Structure 1
Amino acid sequence: MDNAFVDLTGRIVIVAGAAGGGIGTSVTKMIASAGATVIAVSRSAENLNTHIEPLVAEGLSIVPVAADAGTDEGIATVIAAAAKADGTLYGLVNVAGGAAPGTWMPATRVTRSDWRDLFEQNIEPMFFMSQAVAAELKSRGLSGSIVSISSISGMNTAPFHIAYGTAKAALVAATRTMAVELATDNIRVNAIAPGVTATPASKSFVEEDSIRDQQAIAMGRRGTPEEQAGAILFFLSDLSSYITGQTLLVDGGLNLKWSHLGADHTSLFLKDEDFRAAMTH
Structure 2
Amino acid sequence: MPDQIDLRGRVGVVTGASRGIGAAVAEALARSGMNLVLGGHRHAETLEAFGHELARTHGVKVSCHAGDMADPATANALAKLAFSGHRQLDLWVNNAGLLVDGSIGMISDADVQKTLAVNLAGTIHGVQQAARLMQRGQGGSIVNLTSIMGRFGSAGLLAYSASKAGVIGATLSAAKELAPKKIRVNAIAPGFIATDMAKGLSEEKLAQRLSSIGMGRIGTALDVANAILFLASDMSSYVTGQVIGVDGAMVV
TM over 0.5: yes
What is aligned with 1:172?
168
Which residue of the other structure, out of 116, 119, 122, is the alignment partner of 2:119?
122
Matched to 1:39, the amino acid is V
- CA–CA distance in 1 between the matches of 2:14 and 2:202? 26
Return the offset for 1:71: 1.8
Deviations along 1:23-81, one digit per CA (max 9) or x if unpaired, are 10010011111111011111231231454333233144222222333323222221121
Change (3 A) 1:210 1:79: closer
Deviations along 1:80-134, one digit per CA (max 9) or x if unpaired, are 21013247311100110121xxx32221223433322210121011111110110
Residue 107 (structure 1) aligned with residue 126 (structure 2)? no
Q: What aligned pairs does 1:159-238 form with structure 2 within 5 A after superposition?
A: 159-205=155-201, 207=203, 211-238=207-234
Alpha carbons 1:40, 1:52 under 8 Å: kept: yes
What is aligned with 1:80?
80
Which residue of the other structure, out of 35, 50, 57, is the alignment partner of 1:37?
35
- CA–CA distance in 2 between the matches of 1:136 and 1:80? 9
Return the offset for 1:207: 4.8
- CA–CA distance in 2 between the matches of 1:218 and 1:199? 19
> Gaps (5+ residues) in structure 2?
none
- Bigger shift: 76-85 or 168-177? 76-85
Residue 66 (structure 1) aligned with residue 63 (structure 2)? no
Alpha carbons 1:10, 1:88 under 8 Å: kept: no
- CA–CA distance in 1 between the matches of 2:53 and 2:203? 28
- Bigger shift: 212-221 or 234-243? 212-221
Residue 96 (structure 1) aligned with residue 93 (structure 2)? no
Deviations along 1:125-162, one digit per CA (max 9) or x if unpaired, are 11111101101222x14310000110111010211111
Count of aligned residue pairs for this structure pair:
249
Question: TM-score normalized by structure 2?
Answer: 0.91
The 3-state SS of whatever aligns with 1:56 is: helix
Matched to 1:78, the amino acid is L
What is aligned with 2:52?
53
- CA–CA distance in 2 between the matches of 1:157 and 1:59? 39
Change (3 A) 1:10 1:212: same
- Give the CA RMSD over aligned residues: 2.1
Percent of paired sites with the same residue: 34
Deviations along 1:238-280, one digit per CA (max 9) or x if unpaired, are 111111111111001103xx7xxxxxxxxxxxxxxxxxxxxxx
- CA–CA distance in 1 between the matches of 2:179 and 2:163? 24
